[in-house]
Amino acid sequence: MFILLLLIHTLLTVSHALPTSPSSPSLTTLSSPLVPRDNTCPRNTLHTPTVPEWQWALSTYCARDTPITITPSSPLTFSYGLTAFDGKPIKWLFKVWIDRNVHPTLGHGEDTTPYTYQLSAQTCEERFKAMVTGDKGGDKVVCEYGGNKLFRGGSYREWLEKGYIGQVVWETRQVKGG
């Protein structure tokens, strides 16, 4: 009986010590919203290559068939079988191509300008790596998960020459259906 009374007394004493006002901070009161860390990968994007895996494929792509002249009818396109961060195989595309119909409403008909772009191995690596460094992509194409940098894919465009409307397009992504 004495132990029961002691237990009741302890519970009453503890309950009076707890804050009763909702404005008082407590362990159950959130004082700030939960905000994800910057550049954290969503869990549904883990089926992408790590940046080192992507860079290995990039080096292979750029060294394999350059120097080369890119024209609107002859892009440099290759896909590689990589291992995604989740350990599953993934088909990954690298493509450099010319878009000569950037502004199809200018003028009449299709742009028939004979655009060319001289692609070297060094330029190839520099332009694609700019997506990782933030200059041409940054957080949109690279995210982090568990201390690993994952490459989500992306593309960007550069004008071929001043005065022309054609653009060279740098594209790297998962192969559709792959």
| Chain position carrying tokens 């961060």 | 85
How many C-beta neighbours within 10 Å does residue 121 have?
16
Of 137 and 151, the one with more pLDDT: 151
DSSP code per residue over 21-88: STTS--TTS-SS---PPTTBPPGGG-SS-BHHHHHHHHHHHHHHS-SEEEBTTB-EEEEEEEE-TTSS
Q: Does 24 have pLDDT greater than 60? A: no
List pLDDT tens digits, range 113-132: 778 889 999 999 999 888 88
Predicted confidence band of residue 111 (pLDDT cuts 50, 70, 90): low
Could you tell me if 154 and 172 are in contact, meaning their C-beta atoms sit under 8 angstroms apart?
A: yes
Q: What is the pLDDT of residue 106?
A: 57
Q: Is the pTM of this model over 0.75?
A: no
Q: Does 77 have pLDDT greater than 90? A: yes
Alpha-carbon span 110 to 28, nearest angstrom? 65
Structural domain boundaries in the chain:
43-174
